[in-house]
Structure 1
Amino acid sequence: MSGIAERLAALAEQTLEGRPLPLRIRAWDGSEAGPEGAPVVVLTGRQSLRRLLWKPGHLGLARAWVAGDLDLEGDLYEALDRLGHLLWHRDDQAGRRRRQSLPAALRALSALARPRQLRAGAQLLALAGPAGPPKPPPEETPTRRGPLHTLRRDSEAISHHYDVGNDFYSLVLGPSMVYSCAYWEDEAGTLEDAQRAKLDLICRKLQLRPGRRLLDVGCGWGSLVLHAVEEYGVRAVGITISEEQAGLARKRLAEAGLTDRAEIRVQDYREVTDGPYDAISSVGMAEHVGATRFRAYGEQLYGLLRPGGRLLNHQISRRPTTDAGRYRTDEFIDRYVFPDGELETIGSTVGLLERSGFEVRDVESIREHYALTLRAWVTNLQRHRAALDAFTTPGRVRVWHLYMAASALAFERNRIGVNQVLAVRTTDGGDSGMPRTRARWLGLPPHRARPAH
């Protein structure tokens, strides 16, 4: 009689449109099946199979991974990339990518398991053991009710993600404590160099200078506020709705002797009333706003700026959907990483900012930079794995490992992007206050054109 791995591989390949299994399987009985040399998916017990049968698709896989019912031997990036080829294919006629295969395959396996009279279903049920859906791992967010993006619900969602612990984030992010895409002027540089370059790029785009007033929306642990005050002489207010972030940000300001020039508040952007500001930065925060509230978000920030003031909106974007269906957030991300987070296309973001009153002056895609940043964070996580397990739960560390590695591949494969949008509130007379060339407002040497011949 064949082993469990061989039986599972044979059943799986029935649903993979004739394509071979991309990963090797090792089951709890020690049997293996699949291509030699490929990363090995380790099913540690019957519970792993039950998770996939009761919740086929991303969420079932994620729950098995987080709980430790499913493990991996080999390179996680390679394993996820191989799975990605099942999740996406390119339509030859339209040239567009569509989701397919793996979730459909798992759903098909699950459907086979339900009718007991089917031979394949009986085999799967026998392999999975006692029927019944397993409980989700404790790291999963509880069921959320009520309207999206109320002050209370947003506060709970932010707490789930950012209040994992400052010690945890300090090991993953490194000394910069910046939790957004870095700017890699040199791929051989360090993460700290790249994060400092990103903070400086934002300050230059906002044309910060001594005496100007900056509002940093979603200030995190205060790194941009510190940089802007120390290097550009501004007076700054940083707001966050994470108590843990605010506590550390205030401590860092105090240690730098900057409490007379900067303030950190636990405050939602909708509650800020003390404008006008000369500049507003929003870095990695707008993903939490929600599609239905984004225009109101833009109008709120517009109202807080003086005429001629600038907004730098740094935001992850999604690719446009390729069918008539509504875009849906990945279940794993929603349940374990960013509850209630929503991604929009860059076109939608620009359009909504314009309808909020802004003139959009510049859009810079830095997609490849985020892939490098995430790989650096994963390296930090792997290096400090034992300490991270002590600061939180091993399941939580597995969540962060999976989401960061998968996100790095998503940026590399152009499934998601990230953009810096520079917008301005013009004066009543239409004056933007912007220099005519990008080089001037970035503080770069002017371009010297060659004489025409």
Structure 2
Amino acid sequence: MGSKQSSAAQLAAAVTEVLGVAQLPVRLRLWDGSEAGPPGAPVIRVRSPRAVRRLMWAPGELGLGRAYVAGELDLEDDVFATLAALTSSGRVGSAEPTTPLGVRARLRLAATAARLGALGPDPAPPPEEVRLRRFGRRHSRARDAAAISHHYDVGNDFYALVLGASLVYSCAVWDSPATGLDAAQEAKLDLVCRKLDLRPGARLLDVGCGWGSLAMHAADRYGAQVVGITLSREQAGLARRRVAEAGLADRVQIRVQDYRTVDDGPFDAVASIGMAEHVGRANVPRYATRLHDLLRPGGRLLHHAIAWNAGAFQADPDTFIARFVFPDGELLGLADIVGALEATGLEALDVEALRLHYALTLRAWVDRLEKNWDAAVAANGLGRARVWRLYMAGSALAFETGRMGVNQVLLQRPGGDPPPLRLRDWR
């Protein structure tokens, strides 16, 4: 008679079926000390049967993510190596819906849970998870404000630890991996200002202004008059303090305002950086028209947004990113956003792909988070720190593998002075 399988071996067999792979890509170490999986593979410590119960109720990345955020799973090795192994299955780390787990696999998982003493009702989600149904109609102003608050109003001290002195929460521009995060972010801010051809006295609208870094750079270095808008009250409060401390209050105004309600155009330039991901596919034509209408004839728009490169994108409310990080976030392909902007009459002058720059940026943010881990946990709790670690590392891998990209598109409203014959003098 063969010996009874260890708890780890039983769970490994079930997880292999959940992931849809021939061999488990990680090694499991369970609460009873048993282990299973390839020697030398990244180790996931399963601290509690409750983690198995979460996986039974939500097979795939959502169940695994909930267990990690709740502290029922730990990653014992490098987070990038562990996630790279898991995402090779296709059931983890995708922003799209995956094929539902079959009945046979679900029954096997339930049987394994029963043998491991993990059967029971669906555990309550960690408090860091957001339930979208609480917010009302998708992409209404109220729901957008709630979704933005969920992500950005988690404590300015926490973001400062992750982002560094620049307080810029979008892709930096790197000369090389050795550039350093702060210098790369300053280079990005300056590149935006040069692309927009900002001059003293020019009116700039910064849509989704964050903590005011671009607004301050444009006002201080280029003499622009800037209006920055955000839906995050915590961002706006800190941005106003930074503006005042820099002596720029006469040139920078920070508002808590939806882009749909801005009515004091026209502006000489508009920057939308890392904001379009929150707009929603159905609202993109209206969004593009609004940006067009806020520009004066001849004015420029710098549109900086993440793009989904891995085929057709369908938003899924049950991914880890949707539940914990970016409620209602939707990614478009580059052609979709350029087409929508051009449909308003804007002329595309230049497109610059920055995919690998975002991978470097995200790795720098994860490095800062891990080096400041105790302070980050003290600032905003262990669960939130775990969410940010998981999402930023997973996003870095998505940029490195080409599933996601990020692009700066420069456009101009017809009328006014024509663009120069050669535009790349900002390099």
TM range (shorter): over 0.9
Which residue pairs with 1:164 in the alignment? 154
SS of the aligned residue for 1:87 comes to: coil
SS of the aligned residue for 1:86 comes to: coil
Which residue pairs with 2:270 in the alignment? 280
Q: CA deviation at 1:14?
A: 5.4
Which residue pairs with 1:110 in the alignment? 106
**Counterpart code for 1:142:** R
CA distance in 1, matches of 2:184, 2:383: 29
- Within the candidate set 246, 250, 259, 2:240 is matched to 250
Alpha-carbon deviations, 1:39-78, whole Å to 9, x = none? 1111111100000001112111110111011111111111
The runs of 5 or more residues in structure 1 that have no matched partner are 90-96, 115-120, 445-453
- Within the candidate set 137, 147, 159, 2:126 is matched to 137
Which residue pairs with 1:447 in the alignment? none
Instruction: Decide whether aligned partners of structure 1 residues 154 and 12 sit closer, same or farther in structure 2, where only a CA change above 3 A counts.
Output: closer
Alpha-carbon deviations, 1:319-369, whole Å to 9, x = none? 2536xx845466111110011111011110000011122111111110000
Which residue pairs with 1:388 in the alignment? 376
Which residue pairs with 2:424 in the alignment? 439
Which residue pairs with 1:209 in the alignment? 199
Matching of residue 28 in structure 1 with residue 31 in structure 2: yes
- Within the candidate set 281, 284, 289, 1:291 is matched to 281
CA distance in 1, matches of 2:224, 2:115: 67
| Identity in percent | 53
Matching of residue 369 in structure 1 with residue 357 in structure 2: yes
**Counterpart code for 2:330:** E
What are the within-5 Å matches in structure 2 for residues 322-341 of structure 1?
326-328=314-316, 331-341=319-329
**Counterpart code for 2:130:** T
Instruction: Decide whether aligned partners of structure 1 residues 175 and 14 sit closer, same or farther in structure 2, where only a CA change above 3 A counts.
Output: closer
Alpha-carbon deviations, 1:208-234, whole Å to 9, x = none? 011111010000000000100111111
Alpha-carbon deviations, 1:390-416, whole Å to 9, x = none? 111200110000000000000000011
Is the 1:238–1:265 Cα contact (8 Å) retained in structure 2? Answer: yes
Alpha-carbon deviations, 1:98-156, whole Å to 9, x = none? 9899x766975323345xxxxxx2x4322143421111011111342532111111111
CA distance in 1, matches of 2:89, 2:270: 42
What are the within-5 Å matches in structure 2 for residues 25-424 of structure 1?
25-87=28-90, 109-113=105-109, 121=111, 123-144=112-133, 145-321=135-311, 326-328=314-316, 331-424=319-412
SS of the aligned residue for 2:305 comes to: strand
Alpha-carbon deviations, 1:258-286, whole Å to 9, x = none? 10111111111111100110000010011
**Counterpart code for 1:361:** L
SS of the aligned residue for 1:259 comes to: coil
CA distance in 1, matches of 2:18, 2:259: 48
CA distance in 2, matches of 1:159, 1:14: 37
Q: CA deviation at 1:294?
A: 0.9
**Counterpart code for 2:246:** A
- Within the candidate set 412, 426, 436, 2:414 is matched to 426
Q: CA deviation at 1:38?
A: 1.2
Q: CA deviation at 1:186?
A: 2.4
CA distance in 1, matches of 2:95, 2:236: 41
SS of the aligned residue for 2:89 comes to: helix
Is the 1:16–1:105 Cα contact (8 Å) retained in structure 2? Answer: no
Alpha-carbon deviations, 1:306-327, whole Å to 9, x = none? 00000001000102536xx845
If the length of structure 2 is used for normalisation, what is the TM-score?
0.94
**Counterpart code for 2:173:** Y
**Counterpart code for 1:405:** A
**Counterpart code for 1:45:** S
Instruction: Decide whether aligned partners of structure 1 residues 88 and 9 sit closer, same or farther in structure 2, where only a CA change above 3 A counts.
Output: closer
Report how many aligned residue pairs link the two structures. Answer: 422
Larger Rg: 1
Instruction: Decide whether aligned partners of structure 1 residues 98 and 382 sit closer, same or farther in structure 2, where only a CA change above 3 A counts.
Output: closer
Is the 1:12–1:109 Cα contact (8 Å) retained in structure 2? Answer: no
The runs of 5 or more residues in structure 2 that have no matched partner are none
**Counterpart code for 2:107:** A
Is the 1:213–1:277 Cα contact (8 Å) retained in structure 2? Answer: yes
RMSD (CA atoms): 2.2
SS of the aligned residue for 1:417 comes to: strand
CA distance in 2, matches of 1:17, 1:208: 52
